[in-house]
Structure 1
Amino acid sequence: MFHKLLNKSSLSGLVISRCSTLNLVTSRSSSYGPQFIDPIFKHEDIDRIVSNGELKNYQDIPIKPPTSFQTCSPFYNSVKEKFINYMMDKGNKKLARDVFEYTIKAMKIIQIEKYNKATTEEERQSIILDPYVIIDKAIENTKPMLKLRAIKRAAITYQVPIPISDKEATAKAMKWHIEIAKDKPSQVHFSDNLAQILIDGSQNKGKVVKRKTDLHRTCEANRAYAHYYFG
C-alpha cells in the first residue's frame, strides 16, 4: 500500500501528481469511501505540512489518486477546473476551456472599464480586478445552506429541508451560474453573460443570489417537515 510508505524523505503517499517524482497510475472511481482523503500536490501545501510537523498525521491514511488535470503547476486552479467540467458538453473539454478563458477576459474588461471610469480613489480600491477573486467571492455569496429532499411518508411526498455539505453547496452554486448564464438572448454570448453574472454574484446581487434566497425561503416554508428527515 502506497500510503504506508509515507515519511519525510518520501512523500509518495501524500504527493501524487504529474509533477512529482512518483508516478502512480491507478484508476479513479466512485468506489473510494469517505475514509479516503484528496491528494495534496501543491508545493506550498506540502511545505506547510512538513514545516508544521503535520506529516505524521497522514500516516496510514488512504489517499485518492489524482485526476488527470491535477498538477503542481502554479497556474492550476481547482475552481477553474470544476467550472470547466460543469460547462463541458458532450465531452468537449477543449471548447469548455476556451469558453472559460473568454469569460475570464470578459470579466477583466468589464472591471477595467469600471476602474477607468471611477472618479475617486476609494471607488477604485473597491473594484476587484482579479477574475479568480471575483469567482471565489461569487461562489461564496451564492452557496446555499440548505437543500430540499423529496421524502415519502404515507403515500405523500414531502419536500424536506436538510443541511447541505460545503462541497455540494459549492457545486450547486457553480451549476446555478452556468444554468442562468445559458438563459440569455441569442445575440448575447454565453461567456459575456456568465462574466456579468459572476460579477453580480461577487457583489451579492443578481439572479443567482435570488435563486439561493428563493431556495432558503422555500426551506423556511417547509420547516414543519424537517422531522421527516430523522424519522
Structure 2
Amino acid sequence: MRRRQAKKHTILPDPKFKDVMVTKFVNNLMLHGKKSVSYKIFYDAIEIVQDKVQDENPLDVFKKALSNVTPGVEVRSRRVGGATFQIPTPVRDSRKQSLAMKWLIGYSRKRNEKTMAQKLAAEIIAASKEEGAAFKKKEDMHRMAEANKAFSHFRF
C-alpha cells in the first residue's frame, strides 16, 4: 500500500455491561444513526435471553453465540488463466468478529418473531446451541473452503 495504515478507532465500552464487544455489536445493529434505539433492542434481547436461559449469564450466552458463528476460513474469487477459482483463505481476526456480528444481526432480522429484540434473542440462543441460520452460514462457508482446498496453492 502506498499510503500509511488507517488508525484504529478506540471504541468505548457500553454503559451497562462495560464491554467493548457489546458496543461493537450495537454499532452494527444501529440503523439511521439511532444508537439509543439500538441499545434498547440489545438490552431487551439480553433480558429475554436471561428469562429463557436461567442457569447461565446472558452475556456469556451472547459471547458463546458470537464465537460459534465466527468463521475461520472463507473463499475468495481469483481469476487464473481465464477461469475463476474459489480459493480458501484464513480470515483476519477483526474481520472474523465483524462477519459474525453481521450474520447474527442479518439473520435475526429475517426471523418471524414480533419485535427485533425477540428476533435477536432467539437467534442468540440458537447460535449458542450451535443451530440457527447464522451458524448454518458459518458451516456452509467452511464446507465451501473444504471443497475448494485443492485450489489453495493459488493463494496470493
Q: TM-score, normalization: structure 2? A: 0.86
Find runs of 4+ consecutive structure 1 residues off by over 4 angstroms.
Answer: none
Q: Does 1:219 align with 2:145?
A: yes
Match 1:66 to one of 10, 15, 30 = 10
2:6 to 5, 13, 31: 31
Match of 2:134 among 197, 208, 218: 208
Q: Is residue 81 from structure 1 mapped to residue 35 from structure 2 by the alignment?
A: no
Q: Of the candidates 92, 102, 112, which is equivalent to residue 165 of structure 1?
A: 92
C-alpha change, 1:70 and 1:106, in structure 2 (3 Å) is closer
Cα 1:165–1:65 shift into 2, 3 Å: closer
Structure in which a larger fraction of residues adopt helix: 2
> TM-score normalised to the size of structure 1?
0.60
1:168-224 per-residue CA deviation (whole Å, 9 max, x = no partner) reads 212111111101101123x52121121111112112222222211111111111112
| Cα root mean square deviation, aligned | 2.1
- Which structure has the larger Rg? 1
2:69 aligns with: 142
Counterpart position of 2:118: 192
2:38, 2:102 → 1: CA distance? Answer: 14
CA change 1:165–1:66 in 2 (3 A) is: closer
Query: Alpha carbons of 1:70 and 1:80: their partners in 2 closer, same or farther (altered >3 Å)?
Result: closer
Asked if 1:93 is matched to 2:35, the reply is: yes
Greater RCO (CA < 8 Å, at least 6 residues apart) = 2
Structure 2: gaps of 5 or more residues: none
**CA shift for structure 1 position 151:** 1.3
Describe the superposition over 1:80-133 as per-residue Cα deviations: whole angstroms up to 9, x where unpaired.
Answer: 101101101122212111111111111112223xxxxxxxxxxxxxx31x1110
Letter in 2 for 1:189: T
Report sequence identity in percent: 28
Could you tell me how far 1:70 is from its partner in structure 2?
A: 4.6
Unaligned runs of 5+ in 1: 1-29, 33-63, 113-126
Structure 2 equivalent of residue 107 of structure 1? 49
Aligned residues: 152
